Amino acid sequence: MGGGCIAPVYRCELPGGARIVAKQPSPGRTLECEAWMLGYLRRHTALPVPAVLAATPDLLLLEYIDSGDALDPRSEAHLAELLAALHAIPGPHFGFERDTLIGPLDQPNPRTSRWRDFFCDHRLLHRARAAYEAGRLPAHLMGRIEALAGRLERWIEEPPRPALIHGDCWSGNVLVKAGRIVGLIDPAIHWAHPEIELAFGTLFGPFGEAFFRRYAEQGTLAPGFFEARRDLYNLYPLLVHVQLFGGGYVNSVARTLERFGV
Please state the length of the chain: 262
d(CA 164, CA 91): 7
d(CA 44, CA 40): 6
Cβ 173 vs Cβ 201: under 8 Å: no
Cβ 210 vs Cβ 77: under 8 Å: yes
Total Cβ atoms within 10 A of residue 34: 23
How would you label 66-103 residue by residue, b for 16+ Cβ within 10 Å and e otherwise?
A: eeeeebeeebbbbbbebbbebbebebebbbbeeebbbe
* ∠ CA 162-35-199, rounded to 5°: 40
Element (H, E) at 21: strand 19-23
| DSSP character string of 126-188 | HHHHHHHHTT-S-HHHHHHHHHHHTTGGGT----SS-EEE-S--SGGGEEEETTEEEEE-S--
d(CA 203, CA 231): 9
Nearest to 118 by CA among 76, 163, 80, 60: 163
Residues acting as catalytic residues: 168
Taking the alpha carbons at both ends of the chain, their separation in whole angstroms is: 42
